A = this chain, B = another copy of it.
Amino acid sequence: MASIKDVAAEAGVSAATVSRVLNDHPSVSAHARTRVQAAVAALGYRPNAVARSLRTDQTHTLGLVISDVLNPYFTELARSVEEEARALGYSVIIGNADERPDLQDHHVRNLLDRRIDGLLVSPTDGGSPLMLEAAHAGTPMVFVDRWIPGVDVPVVRADGRAAVRDLVEHLHGLGHRRLAIIAGPAATTTGLERVEAFREALRAYGLGLPDAYVGRGDFQAESGRRVTEGFLDLPEPPQVVFAADNLMALGALDAIRARGMRVPGDIALAAFDDVRWFVHTDPPVTAIAQPTGELGRAAVRALTARIEGRPGASLTLPARLVVRRSCGAPPSAVPPPPPVRRRMP
């Protein structure tokens, strides 16, 4: 493959001049410029990004470590991240942690070794020494969706609190009183927050959240199934299962169907994270939708700001409730309760 020296020889100039033409430095004569351009075209020359990165100490690359590529929420996030990054002149390398801290570390290490300019992470756990060290060492970093408390890194995420309140209002209005949640791992912020938001919203309606109604999942479908089976085995099973992510909702659907029960007739189901497939499931699933694309774009903007020396700020965007049929139609016998809170626009 042709190098800058070959181009220089072909154009009859020095490598320095070729480099200047390539980076359109002003101080090059028109004559030299055209000769270099001709040589570049003739040789099909492309600058070696590896060499360039070594010299300039910039890779124009962002690392994105997500918790699970098979989760449509994260692939949508990844897509918007890549899109915005491309628009800003950066490439993205995606690392899939599969919800495994060891894999997450593998990718963080790998990305750091490649000297990426900045790191976008949705941490799988409370933060490995490696990640904390990277943050501390000044690697430009931004958390998306999930974050690690106590680390001084901007966070771009959605706040589902209001939407969860809307959901509980909706469920309460439908007459449901025994509500259960399939939570995420305690090591993740989203795993904790969603339970807390749910518990708080229930309290506003005078409802409690007994321990038996809090299942611990891992954001994967299989755990949703397992937890739901536990719920159904209870002497008094819940009337509603709220899954803290879309995959666990899928698992819950499996478990419910396996018992020959119907949604929402026998039990209602709601999920955090709205994915396009929820429109087509049987029944369509009521879900809390995050502004995923906007989160990805904002995260990239915050990260590139940091990289380029500008201050990259945290951002929290509201999620919103999308009502479908999985929680049932309002029973006509029971009059709807007075509205306690307005639904978000």
Contact = CB atoms under 8 A, between A and B. Distances in A.
A115 interface: yes
Contacts of A82: 96
A75 B70 contact: yes
A50 B53 contact: yes
A78 B69 CA distance: 9
Secondary structure dominating the interface of A: helix
Given A281-B281, A283-B282, A79 B96 contact: yes
Contacts of A54: 48, 50-51, 54
A72 to B, nearest CB: 7
Interface stretch (A12-20, A106-114, A225-233): A106-114
B277 A50 contact: no
A46 B276 contact: no
A333 to B, nearest CB: 27
B283 A50 contact: no
A72 B43 CA distance: 40
A96 B94 CA distance: 11
A204 to B, nearest CB: 32
Nearest to A103: B86
Interface residues of A, number: 43
A243 interface: no
A75 B71 CA distance: 9
A76 interface: yes
Interface string A178-208: 0000000000000000000000000000000
B282 A277 contact: no
Contacts of A276: 221, 250
A47 interface: yes
B75 A79 contact: no
A93 B96 contact: no
A281 B79 CA distance: 24
B91 A110 contact: yes
A91 B63 CA distance: 13
Interface string A222-259: 00000000000000000000000000001001100000
Interface of A: 44, 46-51, 53-54, 59, 69-70, 72, 75-76, 78-79, 82, 86, 91, 93-94, 96, 106, 109-110, 112-115, 133, 221, 250, 253-254, 276-277, 279-284
